[in-house]
A and B are shown apart, each in its own frame.
Chain A
Amino acid sequence: MTVDPNAATQGFPSPKPARGGPHPARYLVPALVAAAVAVALGVYGKVHDPAGTAFNLAGFSSTGAVKSWLATVSLFFALVQLMSALMLYGKLPGPRWSSTLHRWSGRVAFLVAVPVAVHCLYALGYQTYESRVFWHSLLGCFFFGAFSAKMLLLRWERLPGWMLPLVGGLVFTALTLIWLTSAFWFFSTFGVTT
């Protein structure tokens, strides 16, 4: 599959169709949904008056600890995602059930991340008072947009071969950066506590 080098200026995702692929306008749908999700989350986080507190789980000292551990679980399954994706693309030897592994590790990673995001948006909001917080807010919104795009792209077969690795890689990179700017920061500031 060849990539038109001029397509790069078209932005993300590049709407240049592969030969025989779906109509380029179809890529607009995931892109627009992704943008809408990201902007909607950001606007909610900005407009909603942060409540400061929300649910907590028994056995944890603070919501920060709960979220950090949930985020770490999510990142773990994201790493499984990366591995199983490499298996699917034949870059790593993998079992026959690696596609099932990829699907379900992705679902778990996503569903575990949702409560964390809800708490972030409900209790803390979209904040920009520090560069760490700013990047975390921005990437958090971006992540759920990019993930929505990834899910919608999966619905079409005959995508350009680079499309899913690119979008999946974006999702993975975003989640990693989100974890570094939150859970990693939390653990290194307050210690690895529960």
Chain B
Amino acid sequence: MKRSGPLLTLLAGLLLGLFMLSLNATTGTKTASSTYQDEPSPSPTPKRTVTSPAPTPTRSPSRTPIPNADYAGRTDDDSAAVAVTLRDGKAIAYFCDGRDKESWLKGDVRDDGSMRLTGKGDAELNGTLKAGKRIRGTVDIGGGHYAFTADKAKKPSGLYRATAAVRGAKIDGGWIVLRDGTQVGILTRDGEPSPAPRIDPETGVVTVDGQQLTARPVTP
């Protein structure tokens, strides 16, 4: 009396799902590893200790270091995005509302995971790394006060920047690619901010005023 067709349908779906999952797990470049160790993220820009002639040894190597990782998320009011990249105890962050308000912020990460980053025009970011999974904090910029949560980001989500000269204009673009694939970015032409065109998150290629540029992951 029992029909087996529906069961076979379910079974086929299950097998297909498992097959695709195993395909992902084997072909994905180590992304399936469940360990939360800082992966040697293949950022094309080599790590450089920028303008630190006297590197103060604030952290002894025996202490557990802050893992190198990228974080991206939105402000609580959903009006802007925030991305933070941590490398070797240093942090660079980008706040961007996708229209005209943006700020690049830099600073050090303390051993307890807290950070105070500063940018141009008294912009300030105060944040704390929670269990290596997310950064919770606030950004003060241009008289505004924004609380944000940035979750750990995996490629291709993260923070990208492109600088170039296109037809005599100095171009500076910043992009935050969020986990769901949405992008928040601002392109500044000779200091004039405007919404940025989309980058290809896989390659970082973006076309600005007819010229192709490549946005690269940002490291402190």
- A residues near B (Cβ < 8 Å) are 48-55, 61-64, 103, 106-107, 110-111, 114-115, 117-119, 122-124, 127, 129-130, 133, 147-148, 150-152, 154-157, 189-190
Contact in complex: B74, A52 (CB < 8 Å):
no
Please indicate the chain A residues that have their CB under 8 angstroms from the CB of B10 in the complex.
Answer: 147-148, 151-152
Contact in complex: A51, B31 (CB < 8 Å):
yes
Q: How far is the CB of A26 from chain B (nearest CB, A)?
A: 12
Contact in complex: B36, A54 (CB < 8 Å):
no
- B residues near A (Cβ < 8 Å) are 1-7, 9-10, 12-13, 16-17, 20-21, 23-25, 27-28, 31-32, 34, 36, 73-74, 78, 149, 151, 153-157, 179-182, 198, 200-202
Q: A52-B31, A53-B31, A155-B7 are in contact. List 14 more A-B contacts (CB 8 A).
A: A52-B153, A53-B155, A53-B156, A55-B20, A63-B181, A103-B5, A107-B9, A118-B17, A119-B24, A130-B78, A150-B6, A152-B6, A152-B10, A155-B4
User: For the complex, would chain A's binding face be called helix, strand, loop or mixed by DSSP majority?
Assistant: helix
Please indicate the chain B residues that have their CB under 8 angstroms from the CB of A118 in the complex.
Answer: 17, 20-21, 24
Q: How far is the CB of B151 from chain A (nearest CB, A)?
A: 8
Contact in complex: B200, A61 (CB < 8 Å):
yes
Contact in complex: A110, B13 (CB < 8 Å):
yes
CA distance A154 to B21 in the complex (A): 28
Q: How far is the CB of A110 from chain B (nearest CB, A)?
A: 6
Within the complex, which residue of B24, B34, B201 is in contact with A122, where a contact is CB–CB below 8 Å? B24
Contacts known (A49-B36, A52-B31); A115 close to B6, Cβ less than 8 A: no
Contact in complex: A115, B153 (CB < 8 Å):
no
Please give me the residue from chain A that is nearest to B153 by CB atom: A52
Most B CB atoms within 10 A — which of A119, A129, A133, A152?
A: A129
Contact in complex: B21, A155 (CB < 8 Å):
no
Contact in complex: A124, B17 (CB < 8 Å):
no
CA distance A49 to B154 in the complex (A): 9
CA distance A111 to B20 in the complex (A): 12
Contacts known (A62-B201, A117-B17); A52 close to B155, Cβ less than 8 A: yes
15 A-B residue pairs with CB within 8 Å: A53-B154, A53-B156, A55-B20, A55-B24, A55-B27, A62-B202, A106-B9, A111-B13, A114-B13, A118-B20, A118-B21, A129-B151, A148-B10, A154-B5, A155-B2
